[in-house]
Chain A
Amino acid sequence: METKIGVFLCNCGGAIKNIDFDAAVKKVAKFPGVTCVNLSSDLCLEEGKKKMISCIKEENIERVVVAACSPEFQEHIFRKVLEKAGLNDHLLSMANIREQCSWTHDGDVTEKAVELVKMAVNRVRLLQPMEKKELPVNREVLVVGGGFSASNTVLQLSRVGLRTTLLEKEAVLGAGTEELESFYGFDTGSMISAVEVDKNIEVLTSAQMTEVGGKIGDFSVRIRQEGGEILRKYGAIVLATGHQTELALDSEPQLRAEDEAISGLNIVSQEQFCCMLGNSGLETEPKTIGFMFDFSDENSRFTTLATLNNALAAKKKWGSEIYVFCKNVKVDSEGMEKLYREARDCGVVFLKSEAPPRITAENGRVKIEAKDVFLGEDVILACDVLVAEELYLPAEGAENLSYLLSIRRDSKGFFQDENVHLYPVGSEKKGIFFIGGCRGDLDLGRVLTDISSVVMKVHELLSSGKILVELERVKADPQKCVACLTCIRVCPHGAIQLVRVDGSKEVAEISDLACDACGICAAICPAKAIKFQGYRDEEILAQIEAIQEL
C-alpha cells in the first residue's frame, strides 16, 4: 500500500502574494501518494497547529510535507506538531516557498512553488522514522590547568552541583596568578584556598594525562601521578592550560651580533618589570623607560594591556619618562581606551613606527632607533630599561594535549580560535571545551565570559545525567562495511570507531552521542555502507528527480 502523504500549504497570513494557491493545491493533489492537501494562512499559530493535528489523525496521514517558510525558521515547531499527532517527528519535509521562492522572484511563481513541493514530497516518501533515547552520561568533569581560569571554573562547576577533578602538572595550584594580582588587584589566594576545601573538587597536583579515550559522557582518562597511574571516567573535559610569553627579541637579526653587549643591559619582560615595580629596594630608579609592542605579533591585546598598566604604575611610582614604541595601539578590551587616555594624560609618549625599532647598546644603556611615522624622522632614545615586546604563545604541553585528545590547533598553536562556526569555547569533539589563554590572546573580561559559557554548556549537557539523542541517525551497515577505516580517518568529530561483531568481523560504529550529523562519512564511504537518515543518497536523488518531472 502506498504511504499516505499530507501536504500543508501556508500563505503565511498573506505574506506570500505571488503564488496562486488554488491552482497549486490542484496540482499538488495529483502527485502520487498525496492523500490530502490543506491550505492555511496560520500554520505555525495555535489554531493552525490544532487543525494540522486533527487532519493528520482523521486522514491517517503517515508523512507530512509543509510548504511554507524556511525550515531553518520553523522546522522544530512542525516536528513537535508531528509528535503530538502521534507520528515520528522525523517524517517531515519542508518546502521553502517563502524565502527561496515567493520573496526572491517577481511575478507569478506558482510553477516553481509546486516544483519545490514536489521535491519535498519525493523526499518525504523515502524518510524513515528515527527513535529517540536518553543515554546515560558520567556527571564528573575533568578540568586541566591550575591557574586562575581553571580554579574559577571548578568553583563555578561545584556551585552548580557537578563534581570536578582539577589536574595540574605543577606541584602547587595558582601558577601565574601573581601577575593577575598586580595587574587587576585580584585576591587569588582566597580563590585557591576555596578550591582546596571544596568537597566537590578533587585536586590532583604533579599529575598529567597520558591517555584519553571514549567520547562525550564517557571519557576514560589515564592520569600519571607521582604514586603511579590511575584510570578515571569523566563526562566532559575542560582545558584551561593558559598561555606563556616569550621575548620577541630573538627574531631581530641585528641583535644577535651584539648579544654580548646586550646581555648586561636592562632588557626585561613585562613580568620582570612587574617584579621591579613591586621591589622597593631597587638600587637606582630607572629615569627613562622604553616599551615595545605590536611589531612581530598582530594579536597584541594582552601585551598592550600589560604595557598600559605597567607604564601607568611606573609613572606613578618613579615619575620616569616613558616612551612606547608601537605599530598600532589596539584598545578593544573593556576599559582599555580609558587606560590609554590616562597614560597619555600622565605624559606617556606613544611613538608609531612601521618597522620594528633597532636596539643596540650604548654606555650601559639601551639605545632604541625607530622611524616615527608622523614626524617622518628618526627618533633615537637612550633608556635605562627596555620592556621588550612579548609573544603570546600557548602554554608548554599544548601540543601534547592536542595529540592526546586528537583536537586541532590553529596556526599559532592555540586551541580553536579561528573557526567561527564552533561555539567559541567548544572544540570539534563534543564534550571538550577550552577556556582562556589556551584558546587565544584574551583579557580577563573575556576569560570570565569563557568560564561562564563553559559552565553553562557543561551544566546543560551533564546535569541531568543523561542526554537525549536520535538513535542510529548515521549508521554503518555491518553487512556492507569492509572496515577500510576511511570514515574513521575523515570524521571531524572523532565519533567513529571499530567494533567487533559476530565474534570475528570488525565494522565501523558511529556513536550517537559524539556524532554531529555532517554526513561526510556517508559521502566518502567507498562501500556505500553508511546511511545518514534524512540525507541518504536516495533522498537527495529523489529531489533531483522531482526537478525534471514538471
Chain B
Amino acid sequence: MNGCIVAFCCEHSAYPAADLAGKLRLHYPENIRVIRVPCAGRVDVIHILKALEKGAAAVLVLGCEDGACHHITGNTRAKERVKYCNMLLKEVQIDGRPVAMFNLSPNAPHKFVRAVNEVTKIIKESGR
C-alpha cells in the first residue's frame, strides 16, 4: 500500500483516543493502519524499520503524555527508540520518510487526528 502510515498505538492512551475520534466522527485520512501495543515501550526498532522496509510512508509511535505513562518509563523509551531510528535512517541516507513519536492522553482524540493530519501533510509535501 503506497502512502500508508503505520501507527503503533499504546492501549492506555492513543488507542482509546483513536476510538474516541471514531465515536465523535472526527475524520482523518484513510491511509492509517493502527497496530495496538500494550505500551509504547513495547515498540522496538525492528518494528519501525520493518514497516518502512515494507513500504510504509511514515511510522508513528503514539504513547502516553510525558510523566503520565501507565508503565512509568514506556513513553520515554519509545521516544529514545524513535530518535535512534531517525539517526539510523540518516546514517544510511534514507531519511526522507517521517518516523515520529507523539504523546497524547486517552481523552485527546483531536490530538490524534492532528498527529495523523500533520504527518499526512508532510508525506504529501514530499511528493510520495
Contact = CB atoms under 8 A, between A and B. Distances in A.
B25 A104 contact: yes
Contacts of B20: 99
A195 B1 CA distance: 68
Interface residues of B, number: 48
Contacts, number: 131
Interface string A536-548: 0100110111011
A548 B55 contact: yes
Contacts of B54: 544-545, 547-548
A493 B41 CA distance: 14
A340 interface: no
Contacts of A490: 73, 77
Contacts of B73: 490, 492, 520
B128 interface: no
A103 B26 CA distance: 8
Contact of B77 (A101, A115, A524, A541): A524
Given A421-B69, A544-B6, A103 B22 contact: yes
B102 interface: no
Best-buried of B28, B54, B72 by chain A (most CB within 10 Å): B72
Interface residues of A, number: 48
B23 interface: yes
B70 interface: yes
Contacts of B105: 420
Contacts of A119: 33, 35
Contacts of A408: 72
B103 to A, nearest CB: 13
B47 interface: yes
Contact of A428 (B19, B56, B72): B72
Contacts of A419: 67-69, 72
Given A428-B72, A519-B37, A544 B50 contact: yes
A517 interface: yes
B51 interface: yes
B14 to A, nearest CB: 11
Given A104-B28, A421-B70, A541 B47 contact: yes
B41 A520 contact: yes
B16 interface: yes
7 interchain residue pairs of minimum CB distance: A99-B22, A519-B42, A518-B71, A492-B72, A520-B41, A421-B70, A103-B22
